[in-house]
A and B are shown apart, each in its own frame.
Chain A
Amino acid sequence: MTVFSLPIIRQGKFSLLNSVETVKMAHAFFSGKEFISMYKQKYPGKKIVSVTLPFSEIIVAMDAIPLNLIRNEEYTYKETHILMHRITEITKIFGWGAIDNLLKLAYFTRAGADVVDILCENMIGALNERYGQLPKYAEEHGFPVDSCFGSRMLYATNLRQGKVADASFDVPYRCPFFAKYYDSLTPFMKNNYLLDVPVTTGEAAESFLLADLKEFIAMLERLTGNAFSEVRLAEAIGATNEIKAIYKEILYGICKGDMLPYNPLTFSEVQALMMYGLIDFNSNLKAFRSNFKRLFSEMNGKISRGEGFDAARCPKILYVPMFTGFEQENIKAISRLGGRVILADWEIFGLLEPISTSSDVLRNFALHMLRMNQFLGFNNDTFANTMVRVAKDIGVDGVLFQSTFGCKNLGPVLKIFKEKARQNGIPVVETSFNNVGENLEQNKTRIEAFMEMIRA
């Protein structure tokens, strides 16, 4: 039997106790391949729809399975895949209580005081490793080398994992290049649907988006054999509204506060899991909602029982944008220098706002998508204002702006954002990379200088 290797145990961490929901979320995210295969056996008629942004309520409403294709990768980094498989086996037979007991046992032997930290770090490390490999894979398969990191990474993921999906739901909001990228998937992605979310609001935009959504729904109806139901969409939206409300509480409550449920590095990695998990609800909305709710209770429980981490003296650094690609080493560098990272992309893009479930639910869903215009919008000025507002609302001490080479849409906001942040007394540092794992020393130097400045 293969056993995953335990790295050096770090002292003084209390993240182990009562963290079973954290492990559950990580397990669900990293076991995508296993889960999808299981769903396919259990529900052979169900269709899988690839998604890249958290608008998957519509997929769930059509009784299809949303899948962020990156989850279908096999994560071999430090044998993460074996660990995931073991967890699956144990929980199948003994339930999640067994994992909880194992974690507690490990804690009392002192051998596993950092087990959850290590799990999270290894898992995000595993994701990071894939992020490092995928763009190169895309380049090897003819995708333009000077395209943004996100498109290269996603292209490779689609090329490698696309076969598992019966359809694809693409939302290239605001970036015309991304529309072209999505279109380039058509030769190998079945039923590749591009939804055009306009950069304007008002009646014309609303009718336009509704018509487009209806065309997508018609395609899914043909594919799944299921008729669209407003009731099912309302149910799905109701569930995600709950999740989003909790997400906001984590951002504006826990992240803003002084006591964290884990050490800062683990907490940032849990935030990454929450963020990426929201894209496809780890392919199971009900389970994700339950997991999310319990995770929140677990976090609060740890804090109230004094099992958390006193981060009162750790500067809060907003890391944005990160959904287009993030560098784990930057997060580690901030943590090593005594800072704590907050990831709030979905809040900045307006995607955590609730959607009304009364009257015309599809229209409400369309209006929710159009709401991105108030957060990101037609102007970089709007986007910069939103980042400043969220930074102030969370009370951050600084912002790390993550530029990725080749990004032509979000990257150009930086100059405007820096001006506005300066006017609001928010320090900003820019780090950049072309591929994950590159520019590490340069970024580290910048982060060191930045953290020194914040602490001064």
Chain B
Amino acid sequence: MDSILTTPASEPFPYKQYFMEKKEAGRAFVGLFAHELVPVELVRAAGVTVVPLAFVGPEEYSATGGSFMSHSTCTFARNIVGAFVHEDIRFYKQIEYLVRSNYCNGDFCGMEYLSREFQIPTIDLAIPIKTRAYSIAYFTEQVKAFAQRLAEVLGAKISNDEIRRQVTAHNAARAAIGRLLGTGIYGGELLQRYQEATVLEPAELIERLNALYFKNEQFTSGGGKERGKRPGIMLSGDPLFINDFFANWLEEFGASVVYYDTWIGARMGEFLVDEADPDVFHALAKSYLESQGLERFVPAGMDSRLKKATALVKEHNIKGIINHTLKFCDFQAIGRGEFKEQLGNLVPVLDVERDYSQSGMGGLKTRVEAFLELVASGGK
């Protein structure tokens, strides 16, 4: 494992080998539809390995997934279902349980179809759509019930002490993720670290970040990274999942994404679970509901998103925003216009909607180039 964790920053992380080693160590795999509202602390407290379904494949995966659900289910959910059918992502085949939630229709329906077609039992978690005090009370009960179901199906004992240990460990990992922005890394390198953070256990993540940056003399003595004269771009909206070519593609065209305001991104390091709360389930429910899922919650989720994005532009000297929407995403489509209009008053905003196909890349390239020119000219 040590050698894996010290894989050079510029190289792709060997996920396949990572999961193989976990399997060899006798770990059960629990697949998690890659959304941010499932407290992973609980899953890890059960002693299993979390396999985030965050690995995407080519567009034919989405087409295959569409034949199960509907072709207007979000392209990401269809891609995940398609990935199981195509069997290219080998470690998916070793998943023994799936966590399913009502986060979005893609999760809700996609996991049900995966469960039916591949006979993988699901462990359900119901998430409210509001964040009122009574929503938190309800979610606390759901989180408790989720832990119970995990323990039942896995035959594991999940003690409150172990959950607390996991909370502490994950808080430390989040703090480490939060420090990434201070290293000056950007673009694909920064994104890779966030993507790895969805997979690695807290101690592994911290070890890797220490090796690459925080305790790496070569890195620290060089004063971190300088992003040169390229103007800083923020990517918001839907995250870029593992294997998505779009991140590299943006870099090739000179877009320096210095801030990923996405849930596979800076948001992973922006919240802590209250360790002083005597009820650990309440602490988890409260922090997740109040700090994550900005795009999902109502009412006025859009207002919060606009305020946050506005603050980030000022705080991080952002010169342009790429608002990224995956086709048929439940939460991104509504409000795209408003986002572009409001944030466009501050900096140029490029509104990108895409699936995993390469067919529209020519037109997109032209738009990105024009956007970068606009950003470089200071939006004039």
Query: B-contacting residues of A (Cβ < 8 Å)?
Result: 142-144, 146-148, 172, 174-177, 179-184, 186, 192, 194, 196, 198-200, 204-205, 207-208, 211-212, 215, 378-381, 403, 405-409, 411-412, 414-416
A408 contacts which of B129, B298, B299, B330 (Cβ < 8 Å)? B330
Interchain residue pairs A-B with the least CB separation, the first 9: A204-B141, A211-B134, A208-B138, A408-B105, A412-B69, A144-B333, A183-B298, A412-B109, A177-B330
Closest to B325 in A: A144
Query: A178–B297 Cα gap in the complex (Å)?
Result: 12
Measured CB to CB, the closest approach of chain B to A204, in angstroms, equals 4
Query: A192–B302 Cα gap in the complex (Å)?
Result: 15
Query: A144–B137 Cα gap in the complex (Å)?
Result: 34
With a cutoff of 8 Å between Cβ atoms, the chain A residues found around residue B69 in the complex are 408, 411-412, 415
The reply on B327 being an interface residue by CB < 8 A is yes
Contact A144:B105 (CB < 8 A) given known A194-B299, A406-B72: no
Closest to B337 in A: A142
B124 x A408 contact (CB < 8 A):
no
Closest to A434 in B: B72
B104 x A198 contact (CB < 8 A):
no
A183 x B102 contact (CB < 8 A):
no
List 5 A–B pairs whose Cβ atoms lie within 8 Å, in order of A's numbering: A146-B72, A183-B299, A183-B300, A408-B70, A412-B73
With a cutoff of 8 Å between Cβ atoms, the chain B residues found around residue A412 in the complex are 68-70, 73, 105, 109, 113
With a cutoff of 8 Å between Cβ atoms, the chain A residues found around residue B130 in the complex are 194, 196, 212
Query: A380–B126 Cα gap in the complex (Å)?
Result: 15
Interface readout for B234-268 with A: 1 if CB under 8 Å, 0 if not? 00000000000000000000000000000000000
A208 contacts which of B72, B135, B301 (Cβ < 8 Å)? B135
Query: A172–B102 Cα gap in the complex (Å)?
Result: 13
The reply on B378 being an interface residue by CB < 8 A is no
B330 x A403 contact (CB < 8 A):
no
Query: A255–B328 Cα gap in the complex (Å)?
Result: 38
A407 contacts which of B70, B124, B302, B335 (Cβ < 8 Å)? B70
Closest to B303 in A: A186
Q: Which of A186, A411, A412 has the most CB of B within 10 A?
A: A412
With a cutoff of 8 Å between Cβ atoms, the chain A residues found around residue B330 in the complex are 176-177, 180, 408
Measured CB to CB, the closest approach of chain B to A210, in angstroms, equals 9
The reply on B197 being an interface residue by CB < 8 A is no
A208 x B137 contact (CB < 8 A):
yes
Query: A381–B105 Cα gap in the complex (Å)?
Result: 15
Measured CB to CB, the closest approach of chain A to B229, in angstroms, equals 37
Measured CB to CB, the closest approach of chain B to A421, in angstroms, equals 16
With a cutoff of 8 Å between Cβ atoms, the chain B residues found around residue A148 in the complex are 72
With a cutoff of 8 Å between Cβ atoms, the chain A residues found around residue B137 in the complex are 204, 207-208, 211
Measured CB to CB, the closest approach of chain A to B119, in angstroms, equals 14
With a cutoff of 8 Å between Cβ atoms, the chain B residues found around residue A186 in the complex are 299-300
Closest to A143 in B: B334
Q: Which residues of chain B (38-88) have a CB below 8 Å from chain A? A: 68-70, 72-74
The reply on B103 being an interface residue by CB < 8 A is yes
Q: Which of B129, B134, B137 has the most CB of A within 10 A?
A: B129
Query: A-contacting residues of B (Cβ < 8 Å)?
Result: 68-70, 72-74, 102-106, 108-109, 112-113, 116, 124, 126, 128-130, 132, 134-135, 137-138, 141-142, 145, 296, 298-302, 327-328, 330-331, 333-337
Query: A94–B109 Cα gap in the complex (Å)?
Result: 56
Measured CB to CB, the closest approach of chain B to A389, in angstroms, equals 19
With a cutoff of 8 Å between Cβ atoms, the chain A residues found around residue B132 in the complex are 211-212, 215
Contact A181:B334 (CB < 8 A) given known A204-B141, A405-B72: yes
A146 x B70 contact (CB < 8 A):
no
Closest to B117 in A: A415
With a cutoff of 8 Å between Cβ atoms, the chain A residues found around residue B301 in the complex are 180, 183
Closest to A419 in B: B116
A176 contacts which of B103, B141, B337 (Cβ < 8 Å)? B103
With a cutoff of 8 Å between Cβ atoms, the chain A residues found around residue B103 in the complex are 176
Having A186-B300, A378-B126, one finds 17 other A-B pairs with CB under 8 Å, namely A143-B334, A144-B333, A144-B334, A144-B336, A146-B72, A176-B129, A177-B105, A179-B298, A200-B126, A200-B142, A204-B142, A215-B134, A408-B73, A408-B106, A409-B105, A412-B73, A416-B116
Closest to B134 in A: A211
Q: Which of B106, B108, B132 has the most CB of A within 10 A?
A: B108
B327 x A196 contact (CB < 8 A):
no
With a cutoff of 8 Å between Cβ atoms, the chain A residues found around residue B298 in the complex are 179-180, 182-183, 194
Query: A208–B130 Cα gap in the complex (Å)?
Result: 11
Measured CB to CB, the closest approach of chain B to A177, in angstroms, equals 4
A176 x B116 contact (CB < 8 A):
no
Closest to B301 in A: A183
Measured CB to CB, the closest approach of chain A to B221, in angstroms, equals 48
A379 x B138 contact (CB < 8 A):
no
Q: Which of B73, B116, B298 has the most CB of A within 10 A?
A: B298
Measured CB to CB, the closest approach of chain B to A188, in angstroms, equals 13
Query: A403–B128 Cα gap in the complex (Å)?
Result: 27
Measured CB to CB, the closest approach of chain B to A326, in angstroms, equals 18
Query: A68–B132 Cα gap in the complex (Å)?
Result: 27
Query: A192–B300 Cα gap in the complex (Å)?
Result: 11
Query: A184–B333 Cα gap in the complex (Å)?
Result: 11
Query: A408–B337 Cα gap in the complex (Å)?
Result: 21
Contact A196:B72 (CB < 8 A) given known A175-B105, A208-B135, A416-B116: no
Contact A408:B109 (CB < 8 A) given known A179-B129, A182-B298, A198-B126: yes
Measured CB to CB, the closest approach of chain A to B114, in angstroms, equals 12
Measured CB to CB, the closest approach of chain B to A433, in angstroms, equals 13
Query: A323–B135 Cα gap in the complex (Å)?
Result: 29
With a cutoff of 8 Å between Cβ atoms, the chain B residues found around residue A379 in the complex are 112
Contact A204:B105 (CB < 8 A) given known A407-B72, A408-B328: no
With a cutoff of 8 Å between Cβ atoms, the chain B residues found around residue A204 in the complex are 137-138, 141-142, 145
With a cutoff of 8 Å between Cβ atoms, the chain B residues found around residue A192 in the complex are 299
Measured CB to CB, the closest approach of chain A to B72, in angstroms, equals 5
A199 contacts which of B72, B102, B335 (Cβ < 8 Å)? B102
Closest to B77 in A: A408
Measured CB to CB, the closest approach of chain A to B128, in angstroms, equals 5
Closest to B106 in A: A408
With a cutoff of 8 Å between Cβ atoms, the chain B residues found around residue A176 in the complex are 102-105, 108, 129, 296, 330-331
With a cutoff of 8 Å between Cβ atoms, the chain B residues found around residue A199 in the complex are 102, 126
Closest to A414 in B: B70
Measured CB to CB, the closest approach of chain B to A113, in angstroms, equals 44
Query: A18–B95 Cα gap in the complex (Å)?
Result: 65
B129 contacts which of A196, A215, A403, A411 (Cβ < 8 Å)? A196
Closest to B67 in A: A415
B337 x A378 contact (CB < 8 A):
no
Contact A194:B129 (CB < 8 A) given known A175-B105, A408-B73, A414-B70: yes
A146 x B138 contact (CB < 8 A):
no
Measured CB to CB, the closest approach of chain B to A119, in angstroms, equals 36
With a cutoff of 8 Å between Cβ atoms, the chain A residues found around residue B68 in the complex are 412, 415
Query: A409–B74 Cα gap in the complex (Å)?
Result: 11
A180 x B128 contact (CB < 8 A):
no
A380 x B134 contact (CB < 8 A):
no
Query: A208–B331 Cα gap in the complex (Å)?
Result: 24
Q: Which of A143, A147, A198 has the most CB of B within 10 A?
A: A198
B135 contacts which of A172, A181, A196 (Cβ < 8 Å)? A196
A147 contacts which of B138, B299, B334 (Cβ < 8 Å)? B334
Query: A144–B335 Cα gap in the complex (Å)?
Result: 9
Query: A172–B145 Cα gap in the complex (Å)?
Result: 24
With a cutoff of 8 Å between Cβ atoms, the chain B residues found around residue A407 in the complex are 70, 72
